Amino acid sequence: MTDQRTDIGRLIELENELAQLKKENGIVEKTSLPVRIIDFLISLIHEPKKVSRRQYIVLALTLGWLCGAHRWYSGSKVWAVIYLLTAWTGIAAAMTIVDLVLVWLKYEPDENGMITI
């Protein structure tokens, strides 16, 4: 059992050494096509953006349940369209409540009252 642990430890050391050598020599590995596609799709859904926490909460409380105004404001256009499409079902209202709880508990504003969503 100790031989196997030693081998795994040595393998990790060699992997770290290889990564350091690649970094030193400027060798950049290409990402695979599926990874690039997934990264592109994620960037379409949402790019992190700094927004005013107060304005985000006000928009969520007033128009969030109806048209996802807080999502339009934060740049999440795909999610905003989902809010629009589900407004009549009540799902948008439930998602708005979740958004409000997350903004209230998870995101701490900076000195200017801005949060990154």
9 and 50 belong to one structural domain: no
Q: Tens digits of per-residue pLDDT, 20-61? A: 888 888 888 777 888 888 788 777 776 788 999 999 999 999
Determine which helix (DSSP H) or strand (DSSP E) holds 50, and give its type and residue range. strand 50-52
Please state the pTM of the whole predicted model. Answer: 0.64
Domains contained in the chain, number: 2
Domain hosting 79: range is 46-116
39 and 74 belong to one structural domain: no
50 and 38 belong to one structural domain: no
What percent of the chain has a predicted confidence (pLDDT) above 70? 94
Would you list the DSSP string of 14-34?
A: HHHHHHHHHHHTT--PPPPHH
96 and 112 belong to one structural domain: yes
